[in-house]
C-alpha cells in the first residue's frame, strides 16, 4: 500500500489548487434546476416535519445515527447523483450499491424506509426517497450541534444501482491527499471543500474494515507492526486493541466526540489521531494542514462552509420532472 503522502510536483500543484479555492466554497451554491424550497408546499406540506420528527426519534434511540444519515447522503450523491440509489436492494441479477466494498457497514437504510412508509400514508406517491435522505442528513446534523441549511426539494428516485458504480466513484479510506483531491475534483469540488466535507467524520462510527490499512501493513511490507508512522503511537496502540489484525467487523467511533458535531475532528487529525488514512493525509500537504489548523479553532468558518458543501452536494445529478420515479418503498423500484 502506498504511503499516505503527497510529494514533489503533485504537492505543489495541489497546494496551488487548494489556495485558489479558499473563498469559492463559502457561498451557498445555486439549487439544481427543478428543485425549490417549497416543492411540497401544496402536495405534502407536512413532509419536512414528518422527517424531522422521525430523525428526532432515531437520535433518541442512538445519537450516532447522525453520522449514518450524513454518510448516506454522501454515498448516494457521489454515485450517479442524489437519486436514492444507495437505498436499493440487490436482486438476483444485480449487485446493488450497498453491496460495494466501499459501502461496508452502511447504516440508516431501514430508518429511511420507516420515514418513507409514514409519508406514503399521508402523501402517497409524492415524496421521493432521495429527498428524504437530504432532509434527514440536514436535520440530524443540526440536532447534534452542527449547522443547519436550507434544503431545496424535488428530486426523483433513480432505478439503477450497482456495486461497481459505488466502488468506482466513492473514495476508499486509503487514498492519499492527491487521490482525494482528484476524487472530489471529478465531482466539481475543490480541495478546500474536500477538507470541509471530511469534517463529517466528527460524527459517526466505522467498522474496523476501513481502519486496518492504517494500523497494519501500512507500506506493504507484510508486517503487523507496520503502522502509519505519522499516527500518534499511544493512539495506535488503543486502536489495535479495538481492531485486532484481521478483525473487520468490530466498530469504533471515528472521533473523540463522535455524538456531537464540532471541531474535535480537526484537532484529532493535527494530533496524529485520524482514524482513516484519508483523515491523517489531510495534513501531509502544507496548504491542507493550514486549512485543518484553521478549522480546528473556535469561530472558524467550518460550520458555514460545511453547510454550503452539503447544499452543493445535494445538487449533484438530480432527477427532476418526469425522470426517474417516486418509489413506494425505498429499497425497491416500482413495479
Q: Is 97 annotated as a binding residue?
A: yes
Residues in the chain: 335
Residue 223 burial (CB count, 10 A): 11
Supply the CATH classification number for the domain 34-170+322-334.
Answer: 1.10.520.10
Residue 75's nearest CA partner among 58, 87, 63, 59 is 87
Per-residue confidence (pLDDT) for residue 98, from 0 to 100: 95
Query: Is 85 annotated as ligand-binding?
Result: yes
188: left (phi over 0), alpha (psi -120 to 50) or beta: left
171-296 has CATH 1.10.420.10 classification: yes
On whether 293 is known to bind a ligand per the annotation, the reply is no
201 is in an annotated binding site: yes
102 is in an annotated binding site: no
Q: Say whether 41 counts as a known binding-site residue.
A: no
Assign residue 96 a region (left: φ > 0; alpha: ψ between -120 and 50; beta: otherwise): beta
253 forms bridges with which residues in the sheet? 205
Determine the pLDDT at residue 30: 67
Look at residue 204 in the predicted model and tell me its pLDDT. 86
Residue 75 among the catalytic residues: yes
- What is the residue-level pLDDT of the chain in tens, covering all 335 positions? 333 334 444 544 445 445 444 444 444 446 889 999 999 999 999 999 999 999 999 999 999 999 999 999 999 999 999 999 999 999 999 999 999 999 998 999 999 999 999 999 999 999 999 999 999 999 999 999 999 999 999 999 999 999 999 999 999 999 999 999 999 999 999 999 999 999 999 998 898 988 999 999 888 877 778 899 989 999 999 999 999 998 888 999 888 898 999 999 999 999 999 999 999 999 999 999 999 999 999 999 999 999 999 999 999 999 999 999 999 999 999 99
**pTM (two decimals):** 0.89
Q: How far apart are CA 205 and CA 251, in angstroms?
A: 7
CA distance 305 to 319: 25
Q: Which of 41, 75, 101, 121 is catalytic?
A: 75
Q: Domain limits of the chain?
A: 34-170+322-334, 171-296
Q: What is the 3-state secondary structure (H, E, C) of the chain?
A: CCCCCCCHHHHHHHHHHHHHCCCHHHCCCCCCCCCECCCCCCCCCCHHHHHHHHHHHHHHHCCCHHHHHHHHHHHHHCCCCCCCHHHCCCECCECCHHHCHHHCCCCCHHHHHHHHHHHHHHCCCCCCHHHHHHHHHHHHHHHCCCCCCCCCECCEECCCCCHHHHHHHCCCCCCCHHHHHHHHHCCCCCHHHHHHHHHHHHCCEEEHHHCHHHHCCCCCCCCCCCCCCCCCHHHHHHHHHHCCCCCCCCEEECCCCCCCCCCHHHHHHHCCCCCCHHHHHHHCCHHHHHHHHHHCCCCCCHHHHHHHHHHHHCCCCCECCCCCECCCECCECCC
Q: Which pLDDT score, from 0 to 100, does residue 248 have?
A: 87
Determine the Cα–Cα distance for residues 226 and 213; give it in Å rounded to an integer: 10
Given this model, what pLDDT does residue 261 score?
A: 97
Amino acid at each position: 500500500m502506498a504511503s499516505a503522502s503527497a510529494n514533489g510536483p503533485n504537492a505543489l500543484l495541489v497546494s496551488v489548487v487548494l489556495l485558489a479555492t479558499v473563498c469559492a466554497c463559502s457561498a451557498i451554491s445555486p439549487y439544481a434546476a427543478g428543485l425549490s424550497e417549497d416543492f411540497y408546499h401544496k402536495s405534502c406540506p407536512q413532509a419536512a416535519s414528518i422527517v424531522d420528527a422521525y430523525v428526532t426519534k432515531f437520535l433518541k434511540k442512538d445519537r450516532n445515527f447522525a453520522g449514518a444519515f450524513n454518510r448516506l447522503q454522501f454515498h448516494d450523491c457521489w454515485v450517479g447523483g442524489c437519486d436514492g440509489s444507495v437505498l436499493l436492494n440487490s436482486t438476483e441479477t444485480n449487485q446493488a450499491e450497498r453491496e460495494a466494498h466501499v459501502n461496508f457497514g452502511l447504516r440508516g437504510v431501514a430508518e429511511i424506509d420507516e420515514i418513507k412508509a409514514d409519508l406514503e400514508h399521508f402523501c402517497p406517491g409524492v415524496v421521493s426517497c432521495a429527498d428524504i435522505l437530504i432532509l434527514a442528513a440536514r436535520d440530524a446534523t443540526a440536532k447534534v450541534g452542527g449547522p443547519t441549511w436550507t434544503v431545496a426539494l424535488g428530486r426523483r428516485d433513480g432505478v439503477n444501482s450497482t456495486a461497481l458504480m459505488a466502488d468506482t466513484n466513492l473514495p476508499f479510506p486509503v487514498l492519499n491527499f492527491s487521490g482525494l483531491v482528484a476524487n472530489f475534483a471529478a465531482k466539481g469540488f475543490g480541495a478546500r471543500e474536500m477538507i470541509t466535507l471530511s469534517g463529517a467524520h466528527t460524527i459517526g462510527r466505522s467498522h474496523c474494515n476501513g481502519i486496518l490499512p492504517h494500523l497494519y501493513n501500512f507500506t506493504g511490507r507484510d508486517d503487523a507492526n507496520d503502522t502509519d508512522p505519522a499516527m500518534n503511537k499511544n493512539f495506535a496502540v488503543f486502536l489495535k486493541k479495538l481492531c485486532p489484525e484481521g478483525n473487520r467487523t468490530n466498530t469504533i467511533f471515528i472521533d473523540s466526540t463522535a455524538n456531537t458535531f464540532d471541531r474535535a475532528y480537526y484537532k484529532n487529525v493535527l494530533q496524529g489521531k485520524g482514524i482513516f488514512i484519508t483523515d491523517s493525509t489531510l495534513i501531509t500537504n502544507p496548504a491542507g494542514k493550514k486549512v485543518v489548523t484553521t478549522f480546528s479553532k473556535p469561530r472558524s468558518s467550518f460550520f458555514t462552509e460545511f453547510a454550503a458543501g452539503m447544499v452543493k452536494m445535494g445538487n449533484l445529478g438530480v432527477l427532476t420532472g418526469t425522470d426517474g420515479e417516486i418509489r413506494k418503498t425505498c429499497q425497491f423500484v416500482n413495479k
